[in-house]
Amino acid sequence: MDRSVIGQPTGAWRVTVERGPVATFATAVCDPNPLYRDRRAAHDAGFTDIPAPPTFTFAMGFWGAFTEEQPVDPTGGENPMHAVMGKLHSEGALVLHGEQEFTYHRPVQVGDVLDGRGTLVDVYEKDTDAASMTFVVIRTEWTEADSGAPVVTEQFNLIARKRK
């Protein structure tokens, strides 16, 4: 197993949090709370604008990552996570999204402009009688674009399971 990929960047993004995608995400996760759709409800709850539902940051890049605002790709076009998992997949491994965790430093709200930087933080293996599993751990730090203040830290595992 090549552990030299640990510490390498997996990407960088800038995302603008918009009202429509926040409401759509709340609907998609079956959360009817008006907090995610109505500014008055959000203000009454103490927010300065509509907050995003938990886990929104994992999907927000599909809506608010405008091409002209994106930073230079720190991977140079070669994401180490893709290299590790792609090789294992080509050898017949089943690739799964494993554990996902979020640490909130403050709520994500409509109007936020957030910068994200991903890093491959660990690679390790576990064996069972039936399979070998390779775990790749990615951490993404989301910060306020203007101040650099932390907003959300995400961490997830990808698992490649290869039968023996």
- Within-domain flag for 146: yes
b/e string for 17-46 if b means 16 or more Cβ within 10 A?
A: bbeebbbebbeeeeeeeebbbeeeebeeee
Q: Which is it for strands 150-163 and 94-104: parallel, antiparallel or unpaired?
A: antiparallel
Residue 52 resides in a domain: no
Pick the closest to residue 79 from 124, 118, 133, 115 (CA basis): 118
Domain total in the chain: 1
pLDDT of res. 1: 76
Domain-located, residue 101:
yes
Q: Residue 105 falls within a domain, yes or no?
A: yes
pLDDT of residue 64: 87
pLDDT, one tens digit for every residue, the chain (164 residues) = 789 999 999 999 999 999 999 999 999 999 999 999 999 999 999 999 999 999 999 999 888 899 999 999 999 999 999 999 999 999 999 999 999 999 999 999 999 999 999 999 999 999 999 999 999 999 999 999 999 999 999 999 999 999 98
Q: Is residue 25 part of a domain?
A: no
Q: What is the DSSP string of 91-109?
A: TTPEEEEEEEEEEESS--B
pLDDT for 53 = 97
| pTM of the shown model | 0.91
d(CA 10, CA 1): 18
Q: What is the CATH number of the domain that holds 73?
A: 3.10.129.10
Residue with tokens 């109505």: 38
Does 94 fall in a domain?
yes
Q: Which domain holds residue 130?
A: 3-18+67-163
Within a domain: residue 142? yes
Instruction: Say how far apart CA 81 and CA 102 lie, in whole Å.
Output: 19
Helices (H), 52-128: 56-59, 61-64, 80-90
Domain-embedded: residue 99: yes
Residues 46/39, Cβ–Cβ less than 8 Å: no
